[in-house]
Structure 1
């Protein structure tokens, strides 16, 4: 990278800002090829082909970078390319049609049988936990409501402790409204989920909605915030009114630290009014919130206004940690289910991916696929994704949760007011992160 010209470095910056811009990426590959950086040019062309598999220019450029004969209509452009010795290049060009046929006939994914000693999570369901775009529908707008879905907590791989806590503290009273009325329990509730990013808080919220047979609304600051004075408060009110009309409904407040940030730190009165409106709506004066279950998620609970955690609002908290071993197995199965793989030892892969979030695990599978794809284009022989690809990808991916734990450690140790972070402290001590 240090030997690259300033022009190429500038082009890399531009490509990083627009990774899906195929012409821009191909221009970078041309510059790299002109500088004699064939391997780097092949890598850029391979990424371009992922975005545009039928792009003839990307295919021709990759063949040139690999020293392969160009297609008939590109030979005029590559007539002056230096020719590699016959011993170092395939006798024919890369046959894309044959490669597609070979992949189309690949057998279904095959896993190495698990070890005889099965753990408590051996039967984890094949479902993703992360909300990283892997099987999780996109966020709804403030006025869009999803009908009751089929996703339940049974679809969440592993994480049994979280399921038990949800059942005991939140779900059981809601499933038995008659018993709740007997004891004066209203059919409403609020729960704040916190933890490192990419660990499945959104997916858990959808699973709770499925458990309750309730509609689901997902709301973020983009759905509420408005540049005109008063509109943000009105939008917040409309969000809750929509949820009330659709009751029973799970209202999911994503990144609640933005929607309900500490008012003491705000200098803009408009945003303070929005937080005040959120507090008023959560109170639901006169039982207006009956049948509305508010779930909120944040990566930085220490930035959430303390008034939101007052009894009757988001008065219960749940720490969502990186997936445990059964959950990692379920996530890896999910992301490998449609890819051509061979002899994958999931048990070994689960052990080497400890501390990775659900989003990290999805990235491991994607990186392993890219390794196999690039190797196939270089050799001209399509091959399966194997254990070497997955272990190599896992070795390169650093846990994205580490920076979060570095920040959370100080808060848990020195600002644990009311014991809110006792569960986090116990986890940090158990993992020797203190």
Structure 2
């Protein structure tokens, strides 16, 4: 109930003249300005029904979402505009706030500085300060090159807000990470008594989309450690010697911010078998990687927790599996029915819901991994948003909505990965490296 007489009068006027777009827009903006966020959201939605492609109304709706911490909804609303060049800079500022709320520091900084480079008047000093605090070693982060995409910015130290509570299922995997990576830092005296130091490496492997990156972020958040997410573009360079320097700089960054979780995604591209390489400089990159894992002395990597993820562990040079390197390999399986239900609960927890039967949806989504399930939820949300915009109010999502979205979902790559893994487990496992996979492969026959 509004306790502002002026807003009550505006709302009554809008009720009597529901197709008056300027009136509805003015009411929504006033509600937003005075902090009536849910009411503002509803009015912006109603205005969008009258003008679906209006950038200012979309900006208002996204702002209402951000101030309610519904960052994903804000980015979904902004996405059609952000995909087009020359979008209004104000939308970039709102997107930066939402991305920062999602923990995507690099992308948030890119959006912010790209926006103010086109229109300095939209600058937000408070947001700029938050971005400065969230990045490392930059008192005033420079704007990225106009042609560079958000992901090409240099490695940044993040502070993950995720913990293991945000990871559905996978208890055995989480326990392995606790023992190998987290407990040596959380209980250093106990581990020191047995000559164990904080640091080391774990290789996460499994089918695409099974949650390896999500697990790495959660491990950093569980520890309260810095998190450095390293992609191929951060390391690989066309000039001889540059890739090795980039790799050394990445480890140095992690060492300066210890305790730190250093995460290498698609590590098979950086740590491939040297016997398969034809060029000397690519073999040298592998040698550099091994040297950095070993450290210049026994304490060099203390407090640096190296996590790596791959879909193809069989292509990684065997030297990486020696003690002190990636000496522990952890299989991240596709989620079973109970884990799928838990993933769906987490994905839907910030959305308006009717009574839900997540177990029924889980049974209908066999072979889907976490990334696939997120796609199912996103499709259901898109349909519900269209219905809500037409109705002028949020309509709760139901079990039937998720089941309808799941009908068109297809597993990304689990079956193909399973076929490849079965070949290695059954025909190329003389060393016993894939014994952990054996029970799972047999169960899937």
Give 2:423's match in structure 1, choosing from 385, 410, 428.
410
Deviation at 1:308, TM superposition (A): 1.0
Contact 1:233–1:277 (8 Å) recurs in 2:
yes
Give 1:308's match in structure 2, choosing from 320, 337, 348.
320
Alpha-carbon RMSD: 3.3
Indicate the structure (1 or 2) with the bigger Cα radius of gyration. Answer: 1
2:401 aligned with 1:389, yes or no? yes
Deviation at 1:384, TM superposition (A): 4.7
Give the structure 1 partner of residue 259 of structure 2: 248
Give the structure 1 partner of residue 331 of structure 2: 319
SS at match of 1:419: coil
Equivalence map 1:208-223=2 (5 Å): 208-223=219-234
Contact 2:181–2:198 (8 Å) recurs in 1:
no
Give the structure 2 partner of residue 146 of structure 1: 158
2:236 aligned with 1:225, yes or no? yes
Give the structure 1 partner of residue 192 of structure 2: 181
- Distance across 2 between alignment mates of 1:198 and 1:383: 30
Contact 1:224–1:232 (8 Å) recurs in 2:
yes
SS at match of 2:262: strand
Superposed CA deviations along residues 356-414 of structure 1, whole A, max 9, x for unmatched, are 11111111112223445667899999965433332122122122222211221111111
Distance 1:138 1:411, change over 3 A: farther
Equivalence map 1:80-159=2 (5 Å): 137=104, 143-147=155-159, 149-159=160-170
- Distance across 1 between alignment mates of 2:305 and 2:392: 55
Give the structure 1 partner of residue 306 of structure 2: 294
Unaligned runs of 5+ in 2: 1-47, 66-100, 107-150
Distance 1:340 1:290, change over 3 A: closer
Give the structure 2 partner of residue 9 of structure 1: none
- Distance across 2 between alignment mates of 1:244 and 1:184: 21
Contact 2:364–2:406 (8 Å) recurs in 1:
yes
Give the TM-score normalised by the residue count of structure 2.
Answer: 0.62
Deviation at 1:327, TM superposition (A): 3.2
Distance 1:318 1:138, change over 3 A: farther
- Distance across 1 between alignment mates of 2:384 and 2:430: 50
- Distance across 1 between alignment mates of 2:156 and 2:411: 34
Following superposition, which runs of at least 4 residues in structure 1 exceed 6 angstroms of deviation? 374-382
Deviation at 1:276, TM superposition (A): 1.0
Contact 1:156–1:327 (8 Å) recurs in 2:
no
Contact 2:105–2:158 (8 Å) recurs in 1:
no
Give 2:380's match in structure 1, choosing from 365, 368, 372.
368
- Distance across 2 between alignment mates of 1:135 and 1:358: 18
Contact 2:338–2:359 (8 Å) recurs in 1:
no
SS at match of 1:363: helix
2:340 aligned with 1:336, yes or no? no
Superposed CA deviations along residues 232-291 of structure 1, whole A, max 9, x for unmatched, are 111111111111111111111111001111111112222211111101111113121111
- Please, which moves more after superposition, 290-299 or 345-354? 345-354
Deviation at 1:184, TM superposition (A): 1.7
Contact 1:335–1:362 (8 Å) recurs in 2:
yes
- Distance across 2 between alignment mates of 1:183 and 1:249: 22
Contact 2:155–2:229 (8 Å) recurs in 1:
no
How many equivalent residue pairs? Answer: 311
- Please, which moves more after superposition, 329-338 or 196-205? 329-338
- Distance across 2 between alignment mates of 1:57 and 1:388: 26
Higher-RCO chain (CA-CA 8 Å, sequence separation at least 6): 1
Superposed CA deviations along residues 81-132 of structure 1, whole A, max 9, x for unmatched, are xxxxxxxxxxxxxxx99xx9xxx9xxxxxxxxxxxxxxxxxxxxxxxxxxxx
Superposed CA deviations along residues 307-328 of structure 1, whole A, max 9, x for unmatched, are 1111111000100012234432
Give the structure 1 partner of residue 173 of structure 2: 162
